[in-house]
């Protein structure tokens, strides 16, 4: 009975070791902003600061508060996506203004004014 339990324990440990070897290398197991500083340091250990999975934290102002700051942590890849989205939104806004859709210039379709029933 004791040998069977020992064999089962050994088998379970070897299966767990093989499963751990097949997992990707140190992915964050939860959202970086919810991780503690020690967990982030452990995750970043051995990674270059330019690595895509390196986690960086920034303090951002909370709207409506003069003092409160929010700690936001993301991987370098997520920060790059965040910046790219902001830049794309700015380009889209400028293109919209250049087409003439601003308060000072009316769109060409609405120059007649009033209600235009469908034909």
> pLDDT tens track of the chain, all 119 residues?
455 544 444 455 444 444 444 444 555 567 888 888 899 999 999 999 999 999 999 999 999 998 999 999 999 999 999 999 999 999 999 988 887 755 555 555 555 555 555 66
The helices-and-strands tally (H runs, E runs) of the chain is: 3, 2
User: Which pLDDT score is estimated for 9?
Assistant: 45
CB 28 within 8 A of CB 43: yes
Q: Please report, in angstroms and rounded to a whole number, the separation of the first and last CA atoms in the chain.
A: 88
Nearby residues of 55 by Cβ (< 8 Å), 6 or more positions away: 28, 32, 35, 40, 43, 44, 73, 74, 75
User: Which pLDDT score is estimated for 2?
Assistant: 52
pTM equals 0.55
Rg (CA), the chain: 27
List the beta bridge partners of residue 60. 70
User: Which pLDDT score is estimated for 5?
Assistant: 47
């Amino acid at each position: 009975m004791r040998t069977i339990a020992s064999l089962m324990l050994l088998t379970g440990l070897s299966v767990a070791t093989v499963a751990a070897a097949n997992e990707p290398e140190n992915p964050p197991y939860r959202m970086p902003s919810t991780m503690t500083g020690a967990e982030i340091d452990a995750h970043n250990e051995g990674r270059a600061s330019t690595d895509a999975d390196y986690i960086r934290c920034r303090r951002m102002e909370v709207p409506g508060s003069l003092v409160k700051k929010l700690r936001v942590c993301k991987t370098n890849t997520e920060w790059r996506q965040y910046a790219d989205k902001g830049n794309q939104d700015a380009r889209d806004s400028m293109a919209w203004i250049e087409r003439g859709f601003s308060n000072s210039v009316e769109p060409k379709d609405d120059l007649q004014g009033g209600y235009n029933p469908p034909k």
